[in-house]
Amino acid sequence: MNQHPEYLLNKIKSPADLKVLSLDEMKQVAGEIRHLIIEKDAAVGGHLGPDLGIVELTIAYHYVFNAPGDKIVWDVSHQTYPHKMLTGRAYAWLDPEAYGKVTPYTDPEESPYDYYAIGHTSTSIALATGMAKARDLLGGSEKIMAVIGDGSLTGGLAYEGLNNAATEKGNLVIVINDNQWSIDKNVGGLPVALKKLRDTNGEASDNLFKAMGFDYRYVADGNSLEAMIAAFQDVKDVDHPVVLHVNTLKGKGYEPALANEEAHHWVSPFNLEDDSPKHPAPALTPKKVAVQTIAEAIDRGQENLLAINAAIPGAFNLDGFKEQYPDHYLDVGIAEQESVALAAGFVKAGGRAILFENSTFLQRAFDQLSHDVALNNLPVVMLVGGGGIQANSKTHVGVFDQVMISNLPNWQYLAPTTLAEEKAMINWAIQQKAGPVAIKLPVWPVDEKGSTLEGYQHIHYQKWRAGQGAAILSLGDTFNLGLKAAEELNASLYNPLSANTLDTDCLDHLARHYSVIITLENNVLDGGFGQKVASYLADQPVLVKSFGEKREYTDVDQSLAEILNRNHLTAEQIVNDVKQLLSSKN
């Protein structure tokens, strides 16, 4: 039920309804939007600070420009709640029963006002420039805008985008939404450049945008609706590329967000009275174990360790670590290419780098994983979070990092089945010198039934259950699933430890003693572990069947259970499939 039937927002079905409002009415709408963001986030979680900071900019955009004919590309698109509310989707904030009906990122399948499914940073300038080039070639006249946060500007693609946007021949406006934050505090030389500009009301002598040839303009208070409307009216009809640098306040309107920006970039459900989380964090998680293991190694005297992270320490529980071990922590900004190449340099010069990377964002660093790390066979250690099948936004799926890393030479890609095994693998990885090691941190619930492996050394498949007929190889997260299926089938169960180093002695042995070999992995099947096993055994008579995810993007409209079911990743389906195979063999 609509909780705010009195809100002006109820009357805004599209930007046309906004354009007839008075300035005061639009300010009232701004207040309503802020209230709704906080109210819904408190109930179900979501991005908070970025959306609170961009309310006036969004209202001004839809007041001045004519979407969807005029086109706006929102970088990352995690700040588009106000945009969604003004383009016919306010019901998903007004009515708690409709909270799930609008997705967290822009999506052209959801609205004609959205042009792309976007969830990764730094792409907006390139996308907008491409749209401008098409307009120029096809003879259109629409206005094109990219809105990019200062945090996203630390990613290299943003700069490649600026380099090419600078020479665009027609209308193109790049709004720098400068709120002085990535997810964590911004790092490096860029914040220095932006601060000089803010401190001088845009007049600083060394202006990197002007240096590249841009028409540069500055708005000191991007949370002033009047100022934003005036700024947009000024640039609306330009015939050349403009950088519009706008100073905004991330978290504006919610005091706790202003007091602690990083913790309020994205929030889990919280209590409105005191900002406390509704669901306390679990005591022990794979990420906490990882950080703890590194800290213990430093405490034991391994002084050459450096934990490297690309702007998301909170996502890895690194906040305490960075306070306690400042010399052993480096945040490179939202810049995964940099994180991996810098780690290569650090290791080459005698240090031990431990990268904390999020699977989906790590995609930006493929070339560095190959050219800088693998080709030079440097013993970089990388802990991958968020890798595996989850009920995520389609913009953030984490099923491709294993494909990209495990098919490269020299990389060892490990997937622990328990926290104890994870710890043993990390402790081994930070000591060994054979080459680069990636460790996929569990994302499905793990328990301690499995391995308490100590002193991990090399890939030797571990037998966890003796059975007959079928042997199941359960990689990483799928251990419990494999155990359940094995018990029901009275099959044997093995822990293969690695996604890309096959224990061929063991596989040959299994091929001789079982009719059917099963592989399970928490990953897309294509380019995965199962295809390697199937291919290795394909010239032997044993049958092999691999379970994993189909090659597709899943989205928030599907629960994890639904996704798993559709991919035959339940014990019941596996048991049935294996029984069929066994009977075909006999």
In the complex, the smallest distance separating the C-beta of residue 406 from a copy of itself, rounded to whole angstroms, is 8
Pairing of strands 381-385, 437-440: parallel
In the complex, the smallest distance separating the C-beta of residue 351 from a copy of itself, rounded to whole angstroms, is 4
In the complex, the smallest distance separating the C-beta of residue 256 from a copy of itself, rounded to whole angstroms, is 29
Q: Which of 56/372 has CB closer to a copy of itself?
A: 372
Please return the burial class of 407, using the count of CB atoms within 10 Å of its CB with bins 0-12, 13-18 and 19+.
middle
Q: Which of 63/411 has CB closer to a copy of itself?
A: 411
In the complex, the smallest distance separating the C-beta of residue 368 from a copy of itself, rounded to whole angstroms, is 7
Nearest to residue 105, comparing CAs of 333, 360, 400, 339?
360
In the complex, the smallest distance separating the C-beta of residue 436 from a copy of itself, rounded to whole angstroms, is 13
Give the CA count within 13 Å in the CB-facing half-sphere of 201.
0
**From CA 238, how far away is CA 19, in angstroms rounded?**
21
In the complex, the smallest distance separating the C-beta of residue 343 from a copy of itself, rounded to whole angstroms, is 6
**From CA 214, how far away is CA 236, in angstroms rounded?**
16
Q: Which of 274/327 has CB closer to a copy of itself?
A: 327
Q: Which of 230/434 has CB closer to a copy of itself?
A: 434
Q: Which of 407/573 has CB closer to a copy of itself?
A: 407
The answer for residues whose C-beta is within 8 angstroms of residue 196's C-beta and 6 or more apart is: 204, 206
Nearest to residue 32, comparing CAs of 82, 66, 80?
82
In the complex, the smallest distance separating the C-beta of residue 485 from a copy of itself, rounded to whole angstroms, is 16
- DSSP H helical segments within 377-438, as ranges? 401-406, 419-429
Q: Which of 118/497 has CB closer to a copy of itself?
A: 118
What region, left, alpha or beta, does residue 262 occupy, with left being phi > 0 and alpha being psi -120 to 50 degrees? alpha
Please return the burial class of 15, using the count of CB atoms within 10 Å of its CB with bins 0-12, 13-18 and 19+.
buried
CB atoms within 10 A of CB 361: 24
Quote the crossing angle between the two packed helices 225-235 and 23-44, to the nearest 10°. Answer: 110
**How many residues are listed for the chain in this entry?**
586
SS3 522: strand
In the complex, the smallest distance separating the C-beta of residue 135 from a copy of itself, rounded to whole angstroms, is 6
In the complex, the smallest distance separating the C-beta of residue 535 from a copy of itself, rounded to whole angstroms, is 4
Q: What is the CA radius of gyration of the chain?
A: 26
SS3 490: coil
Q: 378-403 as b/e, with b when 16 or more CB fall inside 10 Å?
A: bbbbbbbbbbbbbebbbbbbbbbbbb
CB atoms within 10 A of CB 585: 14
- Identity of the residue numbered 514: Y
The answer for residues whose C-beta is within 8 angstroms of residue 169's C-beta and 6 or more apart is: 136, 240
Inter-CA distances, 426 with 353, 368, 552, Å: 12, 21, 31
Q: Which of 149/286 has CB closer to a copy of itself?
A: 149
In the complex, the smallest distance separating the C-beta of residue 487 from a copy of itself, rounded to whole angstroms, is 22
Q: Which of 62/545 has CB closer to a copy of itself?
A: 545
Q: Which of 154/177 has CB closer to a copy of itself?
A: 154
Q: Which of 193/263 has CB closer to a copy of itself?
A: 193
In the complex, the smallest distance separating the C-beta of residue 8 from a copy of itself, rounded to whole angstroms, is 33
Report the Cα–Cα distance between both ends of the chain, in Å, rounded. Answer: 59
Q: Which of 126/481 has CB closer to a copy of itself?
A: 126
In the complex, the smallest distance separating the C-beta of residue 127 from a copy of itself, rounded to whole angstroms, is 4
Dihedral angle sign, alpha carbons of residues 249, 254, 255, 260: negative
Q: Which of 262/521 has CB closer to a copy of itself?
A: 521
In the complex, the smallest distance separating the C-beta of residue 30 from a copy of itself, rounded to whole angstroms, is 30
CB atoms within 10 A of CB 270: 20
Q: Which of 205/457 has CB closer to a copy of itself?
A: 205
CB 183 within 8 A of CB 312: yes
